[in-house]
């Protein structure tokens, strides 16, 4: 065979597509009501293992991390002949270790009929996918490589980048050896010279076998120099072919010199990073691309990333991400331990999972949606792709796959709940709490009786007593706010502002309840605190002190039911403003207090330990409430006895609800809404007293 014939053969091989044959038969089944010829099919086209490839002695493994799909619908043919149309594949699912294909025999051709009729007669078709390989990696004997979630021993060739272009029905018969053809192509679309083609030129170089092998590695040819092989052709190359071979060798030397200069510059850019240098040479990267990857590599080295064992994610990977993000937000381990197992907590606190960020979630979402992900610059296109993948996964009901909004929603909930529960809410300490089923106005009733039990007479007749009821109304309202992660925050991988906002959301929800509580309290609608209700004192000597507290206690204990008998309800808590905080704490804590105009008299305190004070920062906020005062104060009964004020929630939802929602079309980002359904209203005036706090 002449050198020209050899080159033509190599060019022909390089123009062919790679064809991988599946190891699972195609399933063809017509459903009831469907056409007898248009039927669905499904198959596992590749299961992540070793493949035998024509032209290579070593087996080939396709790295699923580098698989891309050319278009939404792939053509289906018979025996890889473009004019022998069978149908189309409308779903290609890329998992961590397999390519799954689903489609339909939609083409109106005799080739489609041949496939269908043969299948119904019991013929076992198989699928073969074809496409372009853009990057190869040689793993020599004695080395191991981890691809598709498993280990492979060298020698083996890894196809790091593969573009899936078409699918074909094929027949293998009883032959278990899959004959494949493989071509490599650079990212720019120009075909690379195969190693076997360069061997003819290598033979013309005045170099040892070791030097040739070293040069091949430096040039990224990803193969060892094969031993010299004898020509199988019997005829002798003519003189013109010998001259052509010599010219080819000279041309090759020129190319070697150019490549050597590029290799030297790549080494300088990589600055000792041998892994990056290997990727640059094997991937045929330009110097500019290598510089960019070097910058990204240095940045990633400063920010810890998640490693979960190859490309497979553990079942609880989403919980690990959530726990890690919650820890970064400052939530305590003992609190998170109530939500996550010890195994998840240990993984979240492991070194490799510290410092996970928004980019980790976005990359994970893309992978789980079956998208090929190669770390690089996070830009608008990446953000859009991640958001589309997130929407796609969330649209699948019942899916347990990790998504960006899913993880962030759970994180937001836990941060919000922690902040909500740690907020010193006043309303929950003083108001009675009840659940209601809907947003309609609800009524509560206080049942009272008139009179006393009477002595049973000789006749044994028990007299009926009248029941009277007092109605109190309440109604739910919804209070809500929005929280968004804009495009800039996604690109900058900034979750700090998000977690801080989530914490503020929780405090905001609790603060809103307190705001409404004091709004009701200070508005004093329908004169709830009034002399007519015997629960209000004004005038001299109502300023907080021993004497006024004694008067308030007496006022409370003297409250009567509707029949004029003692209500028999005792005070439990004291509510004071910040102006009365110190005095209230002294009255509760000290057994003796200083009194008198000159503050020189030490007097025994009869109220020590009786009424624990609750200090409110709202009572004196004149900017919010017209009746705000820094001197007025209250005594409240135990809310378990009914309470003067009632706080209602919707169906037991005592904490805010967090939901993810889509931004408007003209906005790019993610957002959440937090809302809380509650209602607050006065109930029973016999459960509290108010002292105006005026001094003499």
Per-residue pLDDT tens digits for 176-204: 333 322 233 333 333 334 444 444 554 44
pLDDT score for 304: 38
pLDDT score for 556: 96
Instruction: Return the minimum-mean-pLDDT range out of 246-250, 512-516, 609-613.
Output: 246-250
What is the mean pLDDT of the segment spanning 487-499? Answer: 72
Same domain, 219 and 127: no
* pLDDT above 70: residue 55: no
Give the tokens for residue 446. Answer: 């206080």
* pLDDT above 70: residue 137: yes
pLDDT band at 544 (very low <50, low <70, confident <90, very high): very high
Domain contains 4: no
Domain contains 661: no
Same domain, 145 and 22: yes
**Total domains, the chain:** 3
pLDDT band at 302 (very low <50, low <70, confident <90, very high): very low
Give the tokens for residue 191. Answer: 């075909």
* pLDDT above 70: residue 512: yes
Q: Between the ranges 325-339, 493-507, 608-622, 669-683, where is the mean pLDDT highest?
A: 608-622
What is the mean pLDDT of the segment spanning 635-649? Answer: 92
Question: Of 300, 321, 339, which residue sits at a domain end?
Answer: 300
What is the mean pLDDT of the segment spanning 211-227? Answer: 47
DSSP 578: G
Domain span holding position 545: 541-652+684-691
pLDDT score for 451: 60
Q: Give me the phi and psi of 510, to 5 degrees please.
A: -65, -40
Same domain, 39 and 149: yes
Same domain, 136 and 211: no
Dihedral-angle region of residue 106 (phi above 0 means left; psi in -120 to 50 means alpha; beta otherwise)? alpha
Q: Which whole-number Å values give the CA distances from 206 to 70, 203, 217, 666, in the listed order?
A: 44, 8, 18, 65
Same domain, 165 and 216: no
Is there a contact between 559 and 686 (Cβ–Cβ < 8 Å)?
yes
Share of the chain above pLDDT 70, in %: 71
* pLDDT above 50: residue 677: yes
User: Hey, CA dihedral for 349, 353, 359, 363, is it positive or negative?
Assistant: negative
Is there a contact between 448 and 563 (Cβ–Cβ < 8 Å)?
yes
Same domain, 24 and 164: yes
Domain contains 222: yes
Q: Which whole-number Å values give the CA distances from 221 to 136, 198, 214, 225, in the listed order?
A: 9, 9, 10, 10
* pLDDT above 50: residue 243: yes
Q: What is the pLDDT of residues 566-622, one digit of tens each?
A: 888 999 999 999 999 999 999 999 888 766 665 556 678 899 999 999 999 999 999
Is the model's pTM score more than 0.75?
A: no
Q: What is the pLDDT of residues 452-474, one digit of tens each?
A: 677 777 777 776 665 555 667 88
Domain contains 20: yes
Q: What is the pLDDT of residues 342-385, one digit of tens each?
A: 888 888 888 777 778 888 888 888 888 887 666 666 777 777 88
Alpha helices, DSSP H only, in 337-440?
Answer: 342-349, 358-368, 380-395, 404-422, 427-430
Instruction: Return the minimum-mean-pLDDT range out of 14-23, 86-95, 649-658, 664-673.
Output: 14-23
Is 166 or 243 the better-scoring residue by pLDDT? 166
Same domain, 210 and 188: no
Is 240 or 275 the better-scoring residue by pLDDT? 275
Domain contains 462: no
Domain contains 657: no
DSSP 238: P
Same domain, 28 and 61: yes
Distance (Å, rounded) from C-alpha 98 to C-alpha 93? 8
pLDDT score for 228: 42
Question: Of 260, 279, 300, which residue sits at a domain end?
Answer: 300
Same domain, 170 and 213: no
Domain contains 446: no
What is the mean pLDDT of the segment spanning 43-64? Answer: 77
Burial class (CB in 10 A: 0-12, 13-18, 19+), 401: middle
Q: What is the mean pLDDT of the chain?
A: 75
Helix (H) or strand (E) holding 254: helix 239-270
Give the tokens for residue 286. Answer: 């330009």
Same domain, 110 and 150: yes
Distance (Å, rounded) from C-alpha 342 to C-alpha 351? 16
Extended strands (E) in 475-604: 477-486, 536-537, 571-577, 592-595, 601-604
Is 619 or 208 the better-scoring residue by pLDDT? 619
- Given the DSSP bridges, would you call strands 645-650 and 669-682 parallel, antiparallel or unpaired? antiparallel
Domain contains 403: no
* pLDDT above 80: residue 422: yes
**Dihedral angle of Cα 390, 396, 401, 403, to the nearest 10 degrees:** 20
Q: Between the ranges 79-83, 243-247, 618-622, where is the mean pLDDT highest?
A: 618-622
Is 432 or 129 the better-scoring residue by pLDDT? 432
Same domain, 100 and 182: yes
pLDDT score for 447: 55
pLDDT score for 236: 42
* pLDDT above 50: residue 17: no
CA atoms within 13 A of residue 38's CA, in its CB half-sphere: 7
Dihedral-angle region of residue 247 (phi above 0 means left; psi in -120 to 50 means alpha; beta otherwise)? alpha
Same domain, 212 and 137: no
* pLDDT above 60: residue 170: yes
């Amino acid at each position: 065979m002449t050198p020209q014939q050899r080159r033509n053969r190599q060019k022909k091989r390089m123009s062919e597509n790679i064809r991988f044959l599946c190891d699972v038969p195609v399933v063809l089944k017509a459903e009831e009501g469907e056409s007898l010829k248009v039927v669905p099919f499904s198959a596992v086209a590749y299961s992540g293992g070793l493949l035998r490839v024509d032209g290579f002695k070593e087996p080939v493994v396709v790295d699923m991390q580098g698989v891309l799909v050319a278009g939404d619908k792939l053509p289906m043919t018979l025996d890889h002949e473009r004019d022998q149309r069978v149908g189309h594949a409308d779903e290609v699912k890329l998992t961590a270790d397999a390519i799954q294909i689903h489609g339909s025999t939609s083409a109106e051709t005799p080739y489609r009929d041949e496939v269908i009729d043969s299948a119904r007669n019991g013929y076992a078709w198989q699928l073969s996918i074809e496409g372009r390989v853009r990057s190869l990696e040689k793993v020599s004997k004695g080395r191991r490589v981890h691809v598709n979630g498993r280990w492979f021993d060298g020698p083996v060739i890894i196809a790091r980048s593969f573009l899936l272009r078409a699918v074909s029905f094929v027949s293998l018969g009883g032959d278990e050896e899959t004959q494949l053809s493989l071509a490599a192509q650079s990212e720019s679309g120009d075909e690379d010279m195969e190693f076997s083609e360069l061997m003819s030129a290598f033979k013309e170089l005045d170099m040892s076998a070791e030097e040739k092998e070293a040069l091949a590695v430096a040039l990224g040819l990803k193969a060892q120099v094969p031993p010299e092989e004898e020509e199988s052709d019997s005829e002798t190359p003519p003189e013109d072919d010998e001259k052509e071979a010599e010219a080819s060798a000279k041309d090759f030397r020129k190319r070697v010199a150019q490549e050597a200069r590029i290799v030297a510059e790549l080494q300088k850019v990589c600055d000792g990073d041998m892994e990056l240098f290997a990727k640059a040479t094997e991937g045929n990267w330009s110097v500019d691309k290598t510089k960019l990857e070097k910058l990204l590599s240095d940045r990633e080295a400063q920010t810890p990333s998640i490693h979960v064992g190859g490309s497979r994610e553990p079942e609880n990977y989403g919980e690990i991400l959530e726990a890690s993000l919650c820890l970064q937000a400052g939530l305590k381990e003992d609190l998170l331990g109530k939500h996550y197992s010890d195994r998840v907590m240990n993984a979240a606190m492991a070194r490799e999972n510290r410092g996970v960020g928004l980019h980790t979630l976005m990359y994970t979402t893309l992978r789980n949606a079956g998208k090929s992900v190669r770390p690089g610059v996070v830009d608008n296109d990446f953000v859009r792709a991640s958001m589309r993948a997130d929407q796609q996964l969330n649209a699948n009901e019942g899916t347990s796959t990790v998504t960006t909004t899913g993880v962030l929603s759970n994180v937001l909930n836990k941060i919000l709940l922690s902040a909500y529960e740690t907020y010193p809410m006043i309303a929950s300490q003083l108001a009675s709490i009840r659940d209601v089923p809907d947003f309609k106005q609800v009524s509560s009733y206080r049942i009272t009786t008139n009179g006393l039990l009477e002595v049973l007479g000789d006749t044994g007749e028990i007299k009926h007593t009248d029941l009277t009821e007092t109605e109190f109304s309440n109604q739910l309202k919804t209070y809500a706010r929005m929280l968004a992660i804009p495009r800039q925050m996604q690109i900058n991988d900034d979750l700090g502002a998000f977690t801080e906002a989530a914490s503020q959301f929780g405090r905001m929800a609790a603060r809103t309840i307190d705001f409404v509580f004091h709004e009701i309290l200070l508005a004093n609608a329908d004169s709830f605190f009034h002399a007519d209700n015997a629960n209000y004192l004004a005038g001299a000597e109502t300023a907080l002190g021993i004497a006024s507290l004694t008067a308030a206690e007496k006022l409370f204990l003297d409250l009567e039911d509707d029949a004029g008998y003692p209500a028999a309800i005792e005070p439990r808590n004291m509510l004071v403003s910040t102006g009365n905080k110190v005095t209230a704490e002294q009255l509760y804590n000290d057994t003796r207090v200083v009194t008198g105009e000159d503050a020189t008299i030490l007097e025994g305190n009869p109220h020590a330990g009786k009424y624990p004070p609750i200090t409110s920062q709202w009572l004196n906020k004149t900017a919010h409430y017209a009746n705000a005062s820094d001197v007025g104060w209250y005594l409240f009964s135990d809310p378990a006895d009914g309470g003067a004020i009632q706080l209602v929630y919707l169906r037991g939802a005592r904490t805010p609800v967090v939901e993810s929602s889509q931004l408007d079309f003209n906005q790019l980002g993610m957002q959440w809404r937090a809302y809380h359904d509650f209602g607050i209203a006065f109930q029973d005036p016999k459960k509290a007293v108010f002292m105006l706090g005026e001094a003499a």
